[in-house]
A = this chain, B = another copy of it.
Amino acid sequence: MKKVTILDIAKELNVTFSTVARALNDHPAISAATKKAVRETAERLNYRQNKIASSLRSGRTNVIGVIVPSLRVTFFSSVVSGIEQVMNANGYNILLYQSNESLVKEKKGIETFLQSRVDGILASITTETTDYSSYEEIIKRKTPLVFFDRAIDQLNISSVTINDYKGGFTATEHLIQQGYKRILHITADREILIFRERLRGYIDALRYYGLPVDDDLIVKGDFSPEFGKTVIKEARLKNLEYDAVFALEDFTAMGVLQQLQEFNVKIPEEVAVIGFANESFGSLVTPQLSTIDQQTILMGKEAAKLLLKLKKAELTQEEKPEKIVLDPLLIVRASSRRK
C-alpha cells in the first residue's frame, strides 16, 4: 500500500499542500472549518503524520527532559514523582536521564535531549560539574531550563532548592534541645554547596546555643554507609568523646547507626543519630532514623511549575529567573528522641 502523504489530502480537498500542512499543525491562519475538513480527510485516508518531521516544523515535542545524578537515591526519584505529577497533568511526557555523577555523561544527556528537541529541561547537576558549557548550550538554544536541588548560581537560571543551611541548623538545634552536647558532624571533603551549607548551619546552631565548635568533631570524607562506619571506628580508636552524630545524609547516618550497634552503644540513650534527606529506609530500620525532610514532591512540583511559567514567558518575552528556596522539615524518630 502506498503511503498517504499531505499531497494526497490536498488533492482530495482541492487545496494547497501548505494549507493542509498548516491545518495539521493547528496554524492560526487556517479556519476552523478547513482544519476540520483536513483532519477528517486525513483520518479517512488513514494518513499518519510523521511526528518527528512535524516537530521539526512546529518545534514542539511535548517532551520534557529531566537530568538527575542518580535515580537510585530516593531523594531524586521522589522529586521526579513531583515533576511527573505536574507535567503529566499539563500534557507533557517526561524522559529521564541519569548522569551517575559524571560530567561526561551529563554532557551526553543534555546533547541527547537537545537532539530530541525536548520542550524543556529540568536538571540537578553532578558533583563533578565545574564546566557549564552544556548548560550554556541549553540557554543559547532557548530551551527552557530549571534547576532543582543542585543549581549553578552563576548562570542566573530559575531554580528550586532547599535551604540547606536551615536544615543543618535545625538538625543540630534538635540534638541540643534533646540535651546532647558533643555533636559529631560528618561532612563531605569535596566542595559541594549543599553539604557546605549544612556544615554552616551546624556551626551556627552550636554558636547560637553557646556550645563550643570543636574541629575534632567535624569529620570530612565521603558519603556512604561504609564511610559512616569508618568514622565511628576511627572515633573509637582516637577515644573521641561525643554523644550525638549529625551525618550529612541518611546513607552515612545508616552506617553510623550500624557501627554503633555493633559496638553495643545504646541509641539514643548514649549516642543520638540524625541524618538528612528522609530516605525511605529511615522508617524501616531499628531504631528508626531521625532526619531532615527536603519536601521532595513539593520541590518537583514547584520546579515543574517554574518550567511551565518559563514556557509561557517564552511567548511573551518576559523571561525572568525565579529562585524558590524551600524550608526543610525536621523528622524526629527514635534515633534521637531522648526526652
Within 8 A of B (CB), among A247-276: 254, 258, 261
Say which residue of B77, B111, B117 sits within 8 Å of A71 (CB atoms): B77
A299 vs chain B, min Cβ distance (A): 15
- The answer to whether the Cβ of A69 comes within 8 Å of any Cβ in the partner chain is no
Which residues from B are CB-within-8-Å of A74? 72
List, in ascending order, chain B residues with CB within 8 A of A105's CB.
88
Could you tell me if B93 and A95 are in contact, using CB atoms closer than 8 angstroms? no
Q: Chain B: which residue is nearest A118 at the CB level?
A: B116
Chain B residue nearest to A96 (CB atoms) is B96
Specify which of B51, B100, B286 is in contact with A285 (CB 8 Å cutoff). B286
Cα separation A332 to B61 with both chains bound (whole Å): 49
Contacts of A258 in B (CB 8 A): 284
A286 touches which one: B55, B77, B84, B286 (CB < 8 A)?
B286
Residue in B closest to A56 when the chains form the complex, CB atoms: B52
List CB contacts (< 8 Å) of A64-102 with chain B. 65, 71-72, 74, 77-78, 80-81, 84, 88, 93-98, 100
When A56-B53, A254-B284 are in contact, do A93 and B112 touch as well, CB less than 8 Å?
Answer: yes
- A binding-site residues for B, Cβ under 8 Å: 51-53, 55-56, 61, 63, 65, 71-72, 74, 77-78, 80-81, 84, 88, 93-98, 100, 105, 108-109, 111-112, 115-117, 225, 254, 258, 261, 280-281, 284-286
